[in-house]
Every structure is written in structure tokens, then in C-alpha cells.
């Protein structure tokens, strides 16, 4: 119903002029209405506040999972609500700083949602600035500013993705300036990575588009080294939570879901085992090759295949010299080749889909909410809910309006 209302609003605004102030006012009201919602669709916000509390005590949330005995004194009702208590945090330092601030405030979950909603309103304003700069109709902004997915996942459920999206919009503003502002783009790109690691894949393209790639690289590298090296040093390598997420997390990946089942049905793992047996016989390195057998299963094989496909897709995206379509192509490639696609991940794509008028991704922002059905029913995600989400998306993707270009 909310998406039908958004469609009607778009048609009404097409027949009359729309003001930036009105768009932002409605956006603020929608977020204000959803702030009191309990976290019924996702419990991530409880983990955010917990991690912020742990960091605020001077302990290391990248090394200590919530179940760690060292954190016994912090356990309370919040700990009871935590998801994945056996896994250490996966959130980078800038996100952790926001969590720590909220954890010190009264009503920390509400405070965190308010902080993230204010950042999201900033994203709406930056999007409107880009829209006007690029000559796109103002009314397109409502597909982000009034989008039920965005308002629900940020103001309602309190997802930290709002911080990263706001930073990427600053990157885009810096890159479309004439001349491009390399330092501003570098600082914002580093902030995006420090909110969530996904924007790392955009750094090669943004360096070239900045006009001064070496300056951009120096700015980004300096900020990331200062903030990430201490974490790697304290955890003795890649934080264990990040490894667990990369290897084990799986949910609604558009290519992943059918691919791993296909590999399972065709017994691809048996073929890989035969190759490992052959390698052991040829080289005599029995101990070396034995390490790979525990990782030989369809889901991980699918992730490796999709990682290779993602690199190819990113290679094409990096060649696009237009900042906004390039960003859209980069994040859409990540989503398509990912094994995990939660509804709020679509927020990373929506600003660029709005500017480019990309029908498929805008439509998916409504369809993706169907992935919550298995939480409240006995209906499994695959195949029927999966097909309800991705089949219309695939059909929309074939439309001429589903292209990364600015009219």
C-alpha cells in the first residue's frame, strides 16, 4: 500500500511543480512517524548498541564476541536480545564511534535511530542537490526520500547503512564538481569504508574520476591506515567476525541461491575433491592439499565463482567515467553477485537508481520486502518467495528505462 501511495505521489508531482522544502518536510515527517517502531524485522540495532557499549568500556569488540566470559559484567536485557552472540563485531571504526555515542545516551536505541535518521535526511538533501546539478526532475527524489524501504529500514529498524550512503553521496558531489574535489572525495570515500567495508570496491573508479588520483589515494590510504591498522594489530589479522560473515552468511542472493543448488545437484564438490586427490598424488604435498577439503562444499564454491564474476563486472563498472552511473553500476554488481542480500542493502543503490531512473532497482526496493515473509510464516525463502522477488526484477531489467544513464 505504501508503494502504491509513492507511485500515486510521483504521478501527482509530475503534473505540478514540486519544491525541495516540501519534499524534505514530508521526508522528515515519515521518519519521525517510524522512529518509535520496535525492532521487529531486524535486531541489528541491539547489536550496534552492545558493540558501542563494549567499545566505550575500553574492551575490544572486534576480538570479544558477546558470549565471551570477559564481557559477563555487561550482560543484561540487551544481551538477551542480541543476534549471533558467538560472533565478534563486523562493523568498522566510524560506525563503532556512532554506536559508542548512542550507547552513552538515554534510550540508546532511539537515540541511534534519531542520529541515523538525521544522516538520512542529509542524504535526501544531497540527493536533491545532485538531481538539480545533473538536470534531473526534482520529483524523482521522492523515490528515495519517501521510499517505504528507506524510511522503514533506517528510521524504523535503525540500520547503520544510512551513514555509508550519506558518505557516498558526498563522494558523488565532490566528483561532479568542476573541477572535481579530490580531497573532499577522498575523505568521504574513507568515511564510507569506515562505515561499512563495501565501498572499498568503488575506490579505483573514484580515484580516476577525482582528476587527481594520487592525491585521492594518499588521502584515502592515510585515513584507512590510521583507523584500520590498529584493529588488525589487536586481533592478529582480519577480524574474526568479518571472516565469519564472508564465509558463512547467506540470504537471498539473486545468483547465489540457484547456483549453489545447481552445484549441489551436479556433485561439483566431488569433482573438486578428485582434483585435490590428483594434486596430492602429483606433488606429494599431502598436508598442504588436505587443508582445502573442509572448504569444499557447494555454498563456498558458489561464493568463489561469484567473486570471480564480481571482479569482471567491477572491471566494466570502473571504466565508466561518469560518477553517478558508475556508482550505480558498482553497487548493483555487488548486490547481484552477493550471497547475502538483506532488504536494507538496497539503500546503497537507490540514490543512483533515482537519478538514472532505473526502473528495475526502484521496483526491487518494493519487492525486496517480501523477503521478510519467512520470518512470520512457514513459507520458505526458496523457491517461491525468491521467485516473487527476483522474477519481476528480471523482467523490469529488460526495459529500456533500466539502464545506468542520465537522461
Task: Collect all residues with Cβ–Cβ distance below 8 Å to 86 and sequence separation of at least 6.
Answer: 65, 66, 67
Contact of 396 with 362, CB cutoff 8 Å: no
Q: What φ, ψ does residue 144 adopt, rounded to 5°?
A: -110, -50
Q: Give the pLDDT confidence score for residue 25 in this predicted structure.
A: 96
Distance CA 119, CA 282 (A): 58
Percent of the chain past pLDDT 90, that is, above it, reads: 90
Contact of 289 with 276, CB cutoff 8 Å: yes
Q: Give the pLDDT confidence score for residue 291 in this predicted structure.
A: 92
Q: Is the dihedral of CA 157, 161, 167, 170 positive or negative?
A: negative
| Distances, alpha carbon 166 to alpha carbons 112, 238, 370, in Å | 16, 26, 26
| Residues facing residue 252 across a β-bridge | 340
What's the mean pLDDT when you consider all of the chain? 95
Q: Give the pLDDT confidence score for residue 19 in this predicted structure.
A: 86
DSSP labels, 230-279: HHHHHHTSS-HHHHHHHHH--BB-TTHHHHHHHHHHTTHHHHHHHHHHHH
Q: Give the pLDDT confidence score for residue 407 in this predicted structure.
A: 66
C-alpha cell at 202: 568503488
Q: Give the pLDDT confidence score for residue 235 in this predicted structure.
A: 86
Chain segment 51-107, per-residue pLDDT in tens: 999 999 999 999 999 999 999 999 999 999 998 999 999 999 999 999 999 999 999
**Cis omega before residue 383 (within 30°)?**
yes
Q: Is the dihedral of CA 75, 78, 81, 86 positive or negative?
A: negative
Distance CA 358, CA 398 (A): 11
CA angle 124, 208, 177 (to 5 degrees): 40
Any alpha helices (H) in 266-318, and if so which ranges? 268-283, 286-290, 298-318
**Chain centre distance of CA 59:** 27
Q: Give the pLDDT confidence score for residue 339 in this predicted structure.
A: 97
pLDDT by position in tens, the chain (length 407): 889 999 999 988 887 877 899 999 999 999 999 999 999 999 999 999 999 999 999 999 999 999 999 999 999 999 999 989 999 999 999 999 999 999 999 999 999 999 999 999 999 999 999 999 999 999 999 999 999 999 999 999 999 999 999 999 999 999 999 999 999 999 999 999 999 999 999 999 999 999 999 999 999 999 999 999 999 988 888 899 988 898 889 999 999 999 999 999 999 999 999 999 999 999 999 999 999 999 999 999 999 999 999 999 999 999 999 999 999 999 999 999 999 999 999 999 999 999 999 999 999 999 999 999 999 998 999 999 999 999 999 999 999 889 998 86
CA angle 218, 222, 223 (to 5 degrees): 125
Give the global pTM.
Answer: 0.95
Distance CA 87, CA 64 (A): 8
Contact of 88 with 240, CB cutoff 8 Å: yes
Classify 338 in phi/psi space as left (phi over 0), alpha (psi -120 to 50) or beta.
beta
Chain segment 242-251, per-residue pLDDT in tens: 888 988 899 9
Amino acid at each position: 500500500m505504501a508503494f502504491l501511495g509513492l507511485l500515486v505521489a510521483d504521478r501527482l508531482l509530475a503534473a505540478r511543480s514540486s519544491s525541495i522544502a516540501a519534499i524534505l518536510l514530508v521526508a522528515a515527517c515519515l521518519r519521525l512517524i517510524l522512529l518509535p517502531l520496535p525492532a521487529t524485522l531486524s535486531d541489528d540495532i541491539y547489536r550496534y548498541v552492545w558493540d558501542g557499549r563494549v567499545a566505550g568500556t575500553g574492551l575490544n569488540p572486534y576480538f570479544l564476541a558477546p558470549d565471551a566470559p570477559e564481557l559477563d559484567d555487561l550482560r543484561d536485557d540487551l544481551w538477551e536480545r542480541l543476534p549471533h552472540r558467538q560472533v565478534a563485531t563486523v562493523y568498522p571504526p566510524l560506525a563503532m564511534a556512532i554506536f559508542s555515542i548512542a550507547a552513552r545516551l538515554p534510550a540508546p536505541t532511539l537515540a541511534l535511530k534519531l542520529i541515523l535518521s538525521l544522516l538520512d535526511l542529509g542524504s535526501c538533501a544531497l540527493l536533491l542537490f545532485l538531481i538539480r546539478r545533473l538536470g534531473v526532475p526534482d520529483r524523482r527524489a521522492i523515490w528515495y526520500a519517501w521510499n517505504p524501504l528507506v524510511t522503514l529500514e533506517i528510521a524504523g529498524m535503525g540500520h547503520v547503512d544510512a551513514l555509508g550512503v550519506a558518505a557516498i553521496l558526498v563522494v558523488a558531489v565532490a566528483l561532479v564538481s568542476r573541477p572535481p574535489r579530490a580531497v573532499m572525495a577522498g575523505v568521504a570515500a574513507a568515511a564510507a569504508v569506515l562505515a561499512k567495508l563495501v565501498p572499498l570496491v568503488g575506490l579505483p573508479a573514484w580515484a580516476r574520476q577525482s582528476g587527481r588520483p594520487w592525491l585521492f589515494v594518499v588521502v584515502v590510504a592515510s585515513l584507512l591506515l590510521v583507523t584500520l591498522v590498529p584493529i588488525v594489530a589487536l586481533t592478529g589479522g582480519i577480524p574474526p567476525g568479518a571472516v565469519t560473515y564472508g564465509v558463512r552468511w547467506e540470504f537471498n542472493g539473486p545468483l547465489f541461491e540457484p547456483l549453489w543448488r545447481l552445484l549441489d545437484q551436479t556433485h561439483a564438490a566431488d569433482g573438486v575433491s578428485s582434483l585435490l586427490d590428483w594434486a596430492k598424488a602429483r606433488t606429494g604435498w599431502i598436508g598442504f592439499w588436505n587443508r582445502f577439503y573442509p572448504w569444499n562444499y557447494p555454498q563456498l564454491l558458489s561464493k568463489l565463482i561469484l567473486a570471480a564474476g564480481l571482479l569482471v563486472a567491477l572491471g566494466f563498472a570502473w571504466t565508466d567515467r561518469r560518477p553517478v552511473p558508475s556508482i550505480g553500476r558498482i553497487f548493483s554488481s555487488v548486490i547481484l553477485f552477493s550471497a547475502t542480500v538483506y532488504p536494507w542493502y538496497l539503500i546503497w543503490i537507490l540514490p543512483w537508481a533515482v537519478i538514472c531512473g532505473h526502473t528495475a532497482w526502484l521496483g526491487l526496493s518494493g519487492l525486496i520486502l517480501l523477503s521478510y515473509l519467512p520470518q512470520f510464516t512457514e513459507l520458505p525463502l526458496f523457491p517461491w518467495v525468491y521467485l516473487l522477488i527476483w522474477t519481476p526484477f528480471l523482467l523490469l531489467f529488460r526495459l529500456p528505462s533500466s539502464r545506468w544513464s542520465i537522461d
